[in-house]
């Protein structure tokens, strides 16, 4: 019986009265009041970038007669799209901190 009492007292002493640290509430309020981030500008940037590159490729296409046009376009498109997506991914990472 004494041991049970001792056990209860020990648990009360170790665990009773735990309260949230004073830093919790201000930290939550800081996070809640932080302006909400949006990914829309980054997405629009990527779409715009791809559109510009497509336009440039179309404009340059008459000056590359010796290359198989479909393969050249596909290669260039993949290269530039990859570049833009990589750039967009870096932006998103920076945006998310």
Partner 1 sequence: MSTVATDQQQFAQILGEYQDRVFRLCCAMLGDRALAEEAAQEAFVRIWKALPGFRGESTLSTWIYSIARNACLTARKSKAFERGLSLELPGVRFAAERARAEAPDRSIDILRYVAELPPHYREVILLFHMQEKSYEEVSAMLDLPLGTVKTYLHRARKQLAEALAAGKQPRMTDGGSR
Q: By the criterion CB under 8 A, which residues form the site for partner 1? A: 2-7, 9-16, 18-21, 23-25, 27-29, 31-32
Min dist. Cβ of residue 26 to partner 1 (A)? 10
Query: Cα–chain-centroid distance for residue 49?
Result: 19
Min dist. Cβ of residue 1 to partner 1 (A)? 10
Considering the complex, state which of residue 29 and residue 58 has its C-beta at the smaller distance from partner 1: 29
Considering the complex, state which of residue 4 and residue 71 has its C-beta at the smaller distance from partner 1: 4
- Among the listed residues 65, 44, 64, the one whose alpha carbon sits nearest the alpha carbon of residue 56: 64
Q: Are 52 and 91 a contacting pair, CB within 8 Å?
A: no
- Residue 80 and residue 74: Cα distance in Å, rounded? 10
């Amino acid at each position: 019986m004494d041991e049970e009492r001792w056990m209860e007292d020990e648990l009360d002493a170790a665990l009773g009265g735990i309260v949230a640290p004073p830093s919790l509430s201000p930290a939550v309020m800081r996070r809640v009041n932080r302006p909400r981030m949006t990914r829309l500008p980054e997405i629009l940037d990527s779409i715009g970038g791809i559109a510009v590159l497509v336009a440039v490729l179309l404009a340059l296409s008459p000056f590359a007669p010796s290359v198989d046009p479909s393969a050249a376009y596909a290669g260039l498109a993949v290269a530039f799209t990859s570049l833009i997506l990589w750039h967009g991914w870096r932006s998103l990472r920076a945006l998310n901190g």
